[in-house]
Copies of this chain bind each other. A is one copy, B any other.
Amino acid sequence: MNESNCPAEGLLKMLSGKWKPQIFRLALNGALRFNTLLRQMEGSNKQSVATALRELEEQGILEKVVVKQKPLHIEYYLSEKGKALVPVFLQLESLS
């Protein structure tokens, strides 16, 4: 038995990790920004948030967009794949 015959494992891993569920949840409300997240999630730290964002992006759940407007900054959005996870996430919440 390995990961190949337990498909849920990969998804589970994507959303586990210290700050990932919270980040995912906040992403439901719209664009995320690094320092805002850092302030919103009490007890979090740069390194962990950076890692979580990078991994969520690598896994294709979030999309990173450099906004070249007025105050040059970076935004993270839920990708299509990320959006597909929303109902599962909500179902998970409903069981808590």
Chain A residues at the B interface, C-beta cutoff of 8 Å: 1-2, 6-13, 15-16, 21-22, 25-26, 40-43, 84-85, 87-89, 91-93, 95-96
The residue in chain B whose Cβ has the minimal distance to the Cβ of A10 is B96
> What residues on B are CB-neighbors of A13 within 8 Å?
16
A12 touches B16 (CB 8 A): yes
- Residue of B whose beta carbon sits closest to that of A92: B8
Q: Indicate if the CB atoms of A43 and B12 lie closer than 8 Å.
A: no
Q: Which residue of B lies closest to A7 (CB)?
A: B96
Question: What 4 A-B pairs have minimum CB-CB distances, sorted nearest first?
Answer: A7-B96, A16-B16, A9-B21, A8-B92
Q: Which residues of B contact A43 (CB under 8 A)?
A: 2
Contacts A/B (CB < 8 Å), 17 sampled: A2-B42, A6-B22, A6-B25, A7-B93, A8-B89, A8-B92, A8-B93, A8-B96, A9-B21, A10-B96, A11-B92, A12-B21, A13-B16, A16-B16, A84-B95, A85-B95, A88-B91
